[in-house]
Chain A
Amino acid sequence: MNTSACNSVSLFTESPLELDSGATLSPVNVGFETYGELNEGRSNAILICHALTGDQYVASNHPITGKPGWWERIIGPGKLVDTNKYFVICSNVLGSCLGTTGPKEINPATEKPWGIDFPVITIRDMVKVQAALLDHLGVDTLFALIGGSMGGMQVLEWLATFPERLHSTIALATAARHTAQNIALHEVGRQSVMADPNWNGGRYYEKEAKPDKGLSVARMTAHITYLSEDALTRKFGRNLQSRDAITFGFDADFQVESYLRYQGSTFVDRFDANSYLYITRAMDYLDIAGRHDGRLADAFKNAAHVRCCIISFSTDWLYPTAENKRIVHALNAAGVPVSFAEIESPHGHDAFLLEEPEMDQMIEGFISAAAKARGLSS
């Protein structure tokens, strides 16, 4: 286990955070973890951006589930992202539910949980909060910014919004916009939350029953999109769950059903249903090129000094290679130095979290070359 400093800070206390929607928030609390030490030159900070249902516990045990950090495989002392060398920061995104301001926190105006009175947020709003956290930590420029999936979307918004604070970035299995299919899948998830009578128009915090059924169905649907058909077939095939024959009923006859039910039921213990609505909405609203008359390259025109690395996975159908390549072409057209590879993997979208030797090698090479360029190599 890694040692982390479990932290929380109140930001935007003097002047409020101005959201893309036009609404404002003040204060904004941020739950975050750090690993390693900021060096004297303040030049070794790495910010990790988490995905939709991720959190700040990237390399230390989760306080609710007790499970190891979600990217502990590559982050820690002596690991690929070496916390003996780098100061690693990971914060819970705006709108989430592990210490950062979101729908389950108290609205100062009413002294009750926000519920769906919480303003709708965007990926760029999340990034603005991260930038304020860096100010608080005394980090002017990041040595590296790394994120997969929705974390990668944050990386892209950083490149568009605060390029002057970046030295190098890695975005994995991501996209610069949500497609109709992406939005459609998220809408299924939101509708299943809202169809649960316990959701109660978003006001369930004071009640005993929470919209667990709805949220768990949303998670089950989403979980399918994180895997490939091949991965599901390899893992489960048509295998039956603790029985010798089908039961001619609606029990979880098949292992895959039992697996999904388990994924859904454990998810509700650690995630807030309203947060799920807000964060999926933020992802649906993402269209970076849309702010630049459809020219994605224009969004990156001030990032020509940032070293970039984009990685996609061959069986990821959620954010497929074509979407990742759109980003690469835009970066190239904007004169941003970028490396790209599509990693051959059977694991679908989730591959970025799993052991993929070619991915590891690419990340390791990229980070060590970037460290050399920043004068950080020992």
Chain B
Amino acid sequence: MTTLRKDLQLIADMIEPENRVLDVGCDDGALLDYLVNEKGIDGRGIEISQKGVNSCVAKGLFVVQGDADNDLHEYPDNTFDYVILSKALQAMHQPREVMLNLLRIGKRAIVTIPNFGQWRVRFSLLTRGRMPVTKALDKTWYNTSNIHFCTITDLFDLIEQENLKVAEFVPHMSDGTRLNMGRKRANWHADQALFLLEK
């Protein structure tokens, strides 16, 4: 049994076996490989880096080089049971369109975000007056690929605005520890949050 990074394990636990899964931004394929081998998933990936693609291909995974902003629209409706977008929504040029696309091509979407509303981030901006650089968000404003930061509350607002359903909400810390709290408190405490979305 392979051990997964804890935040990826949270995602893996949410997926029913023997389903079709698309992992958008699948990196070196660790999560996909786990899903394929341990859960009998029919998995596909999208990954921007050549290194990531080569690593996936060597694992026997099927991965298309590309990114969510440009390539999701090429996939037909309802191709997958789950589409995963892990910690990448904030790096999209069109996060709303990407989120809607996830739920067009998949029955369910699993979206995780770094929470810009967490108290450390708020405190850092309040006291230092500079764009926050924390352990979870360790790049400066000019070299970060994160161009559309949001908070947990922001994402809930968008989800409601688009009439999508949150089937599960799992706020957690970077190390994968779940926080057992509602969305308001989670927006203050959680480093990250996982949303299982449905149409």
Contact = CB atoms under 8 A, between A and B. Distances in A.
Interface of A: 307, 309, 325, 328-329, 332-333, 337-344, 358, 361-362, 364-366, 368-370, 372-373
Given A332-B75, A333-B76, A341 B60 contact: no
Contact of B57 (A328, A362, A372): A362
Contact of B60 (A333, A338, A364, A369): A369
A337 B62 contact: yes
Nearest to A358: B50
Contact of B65 (A329, A341, A370): A341
Nearest to B75: A332
B20 to A, nearest CB: 9
Contacts of B75: 332-333
Contacts of B59: 365, 369
B64 A332 contact: yes
A329 B72 CA distance: 10
Interface in B23-67: 44, 50, 53-66
A339 B76 contact: no
From B56, B62, B63, B75, residue with most partner A Cβ within 10 Å? B62
B44 A337 contact: yes
B62 A339 contact: yes
A339 B74 contact: no
Contacts of A342: 65
B60 A343 contact: no
B64 A343 contact: no
A338 B58 contact: no
Interface of B: 44, 50, 53-66, 74-76, 79
B60 A373 contact: yes
A329 B50 contact: no
A341 B74 contact: no
Determine which residue in B53, B61, B63 has the highest number of CB atoms from chain A within 10 A of its CB, and name it. B53
Contacts of A325: 66, 74
Contacts of A368: 58
B83 to A, nearest CB: 13
Contacts of B62: 307, 337-339
* Residue from B54, B55, B56, B58 whose CB has the most chain A CB atoms within 10 Å: B54
A341 B58 contact: no
A338 B71 CA distance: 14
20 contacts: A309-B57, A332-B44, A332-B75, A333-B76, A337-B44, A337-B62, A338-B62, A339-B56, A339-B57, A339-B61, A339-B62, A339-B63, A343-B50, A358-B50, A358-B54, A361-B54, A361-B58, A365-B54, A366-B57, A369-B59
Count chain A CB atoms within 10 A of each CB in B44, B57, B74 and give the residue with the most: B57
A339 B53 contact: yes
B64 A344 contact: no
Contacts of A365: 54-55, 57-59
Contacts of B64: 328, 332, 338-340
